[in-house]
Structure 1
């Protein structure tokens, strides 16, 4: 690999997320999308034409053996992330995985170990962290505008949005969990990123499944299944109270189906000098979102609305990943940050199951 030769890139997974990664490699100045992999041959052929890819594969082993890849994105069901990532890392290929990193922290730790023993980059695509409102708020925090942040709330709630009732999304062995694992991980990542990556010492959580087991709450256009479906094994609402090592508190809420006025993503931060509220997805904020910082100016209540840069999305994740690979710097890019997210999620599910507060732990990395 060199700065003048494009990275040979592949994508495993042909769904929406995989296609976002394909587009990201097309837009990256230092990468070339050379291969895609998936079980749906007709879909692979169509996407190969759409993205100008010459090589298509059904099996990951064939892709890793024959495509001569430098980097690969993995956009498959959660339970497949680890075996595919470990195989790629052991083959000397740098990996960008879709979120969450894995179905639990123990499995994620095996991915981190593979990245370390092969001196390869392992990153996870948290595309919502690249939103303009998040970038602007992070800059305000780094500039000291909020002072010491002691309390934070973050959530992604849906009125009706269970993704694929009866598919891998709603089976615990393939998904690892419900909305807390699927979309809550975005808000966990975003909040900890904004807070400066404090450690999480303990979690007290609860989960509910009031819609999915009755065949309700499916994404728009879904007509429902018979009541009492056996294909729904996860929650449709989760809430978690997280104690931070710096004395602060983080509360996270995630739902696929809930009696709320509308879908909404939000982060609220409360600091010693100012507070902040960002949101997107509501009828008023739109997809671009809005950010308000609440403070005082000369003793009078004031609101500051920073200028919002453009959203980054998956293309920004892919570009940053390629830059990391070419930089040669392997410090902190082995998936260990995402392992901390997995540990928090494990603790939340354990707390909900045991109905008590649970201390967070990190598995040993071999």
Structure 2
């Protein structure tokens, strides 16, 4: 591989099997490894992570001989065409930019970065290198969300004009005292962690309307008192001795171009029914829809509401489980093979998600709605209430 390759370079798909690397040894990284190992036309050839024993065990599991403690060594050694970045959020930007500058296509875990400023640097690096940058929004690849999207696109509920999307937990702070609860390392709490999934699938279902304004509130009531930690206690390797510096609940109102609206609510910890629940309710001009997923079930309860006045018709939709990360990785590899369109696979959607989240945190901090102009910098102008 050469540094700063031209967009017209033939790429790995033109020369044979794609060589893949994965940086990060946790659950997400292993999802990427499994997908690379299973999909045809790709070889998992390198992994990187700081934990010695997991690195050895995972390397043995997948037959990977190139095992690095430092991601910089994996990138510097070259001989990989694509790399997945599945590490704590504060490392997404430096690793992605470094890999892109080395001519490697990048698939990053969500969120794209801690802020829109970092996300913009990643998108710029993709443009400058002429390589693909994508972010793993695996929830939109769930079978129930794909079935709901198909129903909306078919006109079953007419034009969606309002929605309420949520991901709520009773006790689900990933690990008290870990990088997750450190504002500098994570960028925020449940809004940027699990809320970004909710934001992504909601805007995806609505057809990617532009968000024109954000009004948000955040609360930090339980984590600061040591309450709401995940039942497992979290991975001890993630501990950094941090105080609880982020929110444990966030609520947003998004104004959409064309007059639509979305309410988004997400929490790591809140006094509500036990368990973990996410989904969306959508109101359309000819009907509505509701998806409810409890405790990360492979398939949720999806209902479409149609009819007129007393002549109602509620339709229960059966959906397949979907393919999650495997579908995400497969699409990423398809885009890498689509050499003529690399410039279009640049992480822009994930950058827009980051801009919205930045605006939400700004709105919550200042108690005022934040207006997002088209193509603005990540520091939108506040509109006083």
Instruction: Give your verdict on TM over 0.5.
Output: yes
Q: Which of the numbers 272, 275, 281 marks the counterpart of 2:288?
A: 275
Distance change (3 Å), C-alpha of 1:59 and 1:303: same
Q: 2:99 aligns with which of 69, 74, 88?
A: 88
**In 2, Cα distance between the equivalents of 1:55 and 1:256?**
37
**Which of residues 53, 77, 80 is equivalent to 1:69?**
80
Verify the 8 A CA contact 1:161 1:257 in the aligned structure 2: yes
Runs of 4+ displaced beyond 4 Å: 361-365
Q: How much has 1:311 moved relative to structure 2?
A: 1.6
Structure 2 length-normalised TM: 0.90
**C-alpha distance in 2, partners of 1:29/1:230?**
42
Change (3 A) 1:254 1:119: same
Give 1:333's aligned residue. Answer: 345
Residue 258 of structure 1 pairs with residue 270 of structure 2: yes
Please say if residues 132 and 343 of structure 2, whose CA atoms lie closer than 8 Å, have aligned partners that are also in contact: no
- How far apart are the structure 2 equivalents of 1:144 and 1:331? 32
Work out the CA distance in 2 between the residues paired with 1:211 and 1:46. 37
- 1:4, CA displacement in angstroms? 7.0
CA contact (8 A) 1:105 1:363 kept: no
Q: What is the alpha-carbon distance in structure 2 between the residues aligned to residue 246 and residue 312 of structure 1? A: 33
Task: Choose from 177, 180, 183 the match for 2:188.
Answer: 177
- Give the alignment partner of residue 149 of structure 2, picking from 138, 143, 146: 138
C-alpha contact 2:132 2:345 (8 A) present in aligned 1: yes
> How far apart are 1:230 and its partner, in Å?
6.1
Gapped regions of structure 2 (runs ≥ 5): 1-11, 235-240, 379-385
Q: Which residue of 2 aligns with 1:247?
A: 259
State which of 161, 183, 207 in structure 1 corresponds to 2:172: 161
Change (3 A) 1:298 1:237: closer
TM-superposed deviation, 1:67: 4.2
User: Aligned ranges for residues 1-366 of structure 1 at < 5 Å?
Assistant: 1-2=12-13, 5-222=16-233, 231-262=243-274, 263-281=276-294, 286-296=297-307, 300-328=311-339, 329-360=341-372, 362=375, 364=377
Q: Secondary structure at the residue paired with 2:246?
A: coil
Q: CA deviation at 1:148?
A: 1.0
CA distance in 2, matches of 1:61, 1:298: 63
Cα distance, 1:231 vs. partner? 1.0
Q: Would the aligned equivalents of 2:171 and 2:268 in 1 still touch at CA under 8 Å?
A: yes
User: How many residue pairs were aligned?
Assistant: 358
**1: distance between equivalents of 2:69 and 2:376?**
33
Once residues 77 and 107 of structure 1 are traced to their aligned partners in structure 2, the CA distance between those partners, rounded to angstroms, is: 14
Q: How far is 1:60 from its partner? A: 1.6
Quote the Cα distance in structure 2 between the aligned partners of 1:319 and 1:295. Answer: 35
Q: Distance in 2 between matches of 1:27 and 1:363?
A: 41
Cα deviation 1:76-130 (Å, max 9, x = unaligned): 1101000000000000000000000000101100000000111111000011111
Per-residue deviation, residues 105-160 of structure 1 (Å, max 9, x unmatched) = 01100000000111111000011111111000110111111111110110100010
Give the conservation status (yes or no) of the 8 Å contact 1:106–1:363: no
Q: Contact conserved, 2:215 with 2:360, CA < 8 A, in 1?
A: yes
Deviations 1:155-212 (A, max 9, x none): 1000100001101000011100000000000000000000000000110000001111
Once the 2 structures are TM-superposed, how far is the Cα of residue 306 of structure 1 from its aligned partner? 2.5
Verify the 8 A CA contact 2:46 2:66 in the aligned structure 1: yes
- Structure 1: distance between partners of 2:242 and 2:141: 37
Tell me by how many angstroms 1:2 deviates.
2.5
